[in-house]
Amino acid sequence: MLYVSLLTSKDIQTFITKVLKEKWDSLKISATLGKSFSEEERRAIMDYIPLVNKSREKFNTDSFLLCDKLALEQSTAYDISQWKAKLWPSFGSVHDLCCGMGGDSFFIPDSLEITGIDMSEERLEMYTHNMQALNKKANVLKADVRNLKLSVPNAIADFFTIDPARRKLESENQRQFENLTPSLQEVLEIAKSYKGGMVKLPPGYPIDDVPFDAEIIYLGSRQDCRECLVLLGNLAQNPGKIRTVILDKEKSFEFVSAFDRATLEKEQILEEGSLQKFISEPCPLFVRSRIFTQFAKEWNAKILSKGIAYLTTEEPISHIGFSSFAVLDSVPLGTSAVKNMLKKHGIGKLTLKKRGVEIIPEEEIKRLKPKGKNEGILFYTRIAGEKTAILTQRIQNRTT
Ligand SMILES: C[S@@+](CC[C@H](N)C(=O)[O-])C[C@H]1O[C@@H](n2cnc3c(N)ncnc32)[C@H](O)[C@@H]1O
């Protein structure tokens, strides 16, 4: 029996439910475990307990989903998975390639025939259990997805979704894109066997090698870009374009680029301008997708310095994708000039934002020792290349 499968026993699940409900501490857990469970079961239970509530939250369910720490970390959360559900056609069959514990399959519409494919037996064990626990039908197949066509020639489907592994060990760095397995090149090769597919990539993955007829979607919240999703073949609803999706509590906001990727770069170059009455900061998703440049043109905004995503305008940009600030003052960057500016405006409580200037905000705030009854947001950035400190006040931003 696989390690993770031990957790499917009724006795173990009853024990874990009691532990969580009564909030036992680890001493009480290990003392009680010794009496009723084998050594192997004890280890499995101790590893699993800290994950149960995290997994319930991540997948918005009370069910016992099987996972280990890495499988849970690598999985797709319910809000993203639920949003993606609408990208599927109503009928046909889907391969969830590199299915892991199942995060990408949980919300695939029931009208589609699903097969989870992974080369790890343990992950397939989790997948099988989890799909059943959520009342989802699925076939499972153990295979290396790079050789699927050769090794299992009858394993065919209309569409695929793939979530390549970013690392094999918890200790490995998720941001090292060369660790992606299968690689993007291998995924594009795999894609040739399907009518269409979706590929989950890390948010900062360089998109140069993504085919120009694919649609790229950046997904996340206002605070964070969480996923870069590439839609290939028939699944691309806006071929060649970039879509930005803000998932905000129960609602989502979508923005499709006016230009396709091929023209985006040359059409969307923003002009530099001098500091105006307001500064706007696009949310990380808007920066990643570069859709902020499109809005900048609509709002007649300028950038303060080339390559820095702060916009300046005469009117505040009132849009869910931006935070806007009213400019109070500005000085060339230097400690005593900044201190004098803060004193002049009575600023005692400070938030520091920076782009284009290398400092550690917390340390800089300590150095500035602000005193006063007012609150301010200080930007350390560049205006036409020159390092500048801009003092602002946050204005009410649009959140709906
Ligand atoms: C990021 S995880 C998938 C997470 C999953 N989408 C979820 O939401 O739970 C990547 C998975 O790819 C599998 N994998 C990596 N390379 C593979 C390959 N060549 N063939 C099949 N599976 C592979 C790993 O075993 C791992 O389960």
Residues 110-143: pLDDT tens digits? 999 999 999 999 999 999 999 999 999 999 999 9
How far apart are the CA of 74 and the centre of ligand 1, in A?
9
How far apart are the CA of 96 and the centre of ligand 1, in A?
9
Beta bridge partners, 97, equal 117, 162
Question: What's the mean pLDDT when you consider all of the chain?
Answer: 91
Average pLDDT over residues 325-336: 96
| Residue from 2, 66, 114, 119 to probe ligand 1 pocket by mutation (most atoms less than 8 Å from CB) | 119
Is residue 227 within 6 Å of ligand 1 at its C-beta?
no
CATH code assigned to 72-261? 3.40.50.150
Is residue 388 within 6 Å of ligand 1 at its C-beta?
no
What are the tens digits of pLDDT across the range 216-245?
A: 999 999 999 999 999 999 999 999 999 999
Supply φ then ψ for residue 110, to 5 degrees.
-65, -20
68 pLDDT exceeds 90?
A: yes
pLDDT classification of 396: cutoffs 50, 70, 90: confident
Closest ligand 1 atom to residue 100 Cα is 27
DSSP annotation of 147 reads: G
Average pLDDT over residues 148-162: 92
The residue ranking higher by pLDDT, 269 or 231, is: 231
Nearest CA to ligand 1 atom 14: 98
How far apart are the CA of 123 and the centre of ligand 1, in A?
8
How far apart are the CA of 138 and the centre of ligand 1, in A?
16
Nearest CA to ligand 1 atom 16: 181
270 near 295, Cβ under 8 Å? Answer: no
142 near 128, Cβ under 8 Å? Answer: no
Is residue 96 within 6 Å of ligand 1 at its C-beta?
no
How far apart are the CA of 45 and the centre of ligand 1, in A?
24
Q: Is the pTM of this model over 0.85?
A: yes
DSSP annotation of 146 reads: G
What are the tens digits of pLDDT across the range 41-51?
A: 888 888 898 89
Cα–Cα distances in angstroms (integers) from residue 97 to residues 55, 90, 198, 253, 281, in the given order? 21, 20, 10, 28, 37
37 pLDDT exceeds 90?
A: no
Nearest CA to ligand 1 atom 23: 98
Q: Which fold has domain 268-394?
A: VC0802-like (3.30.2130)
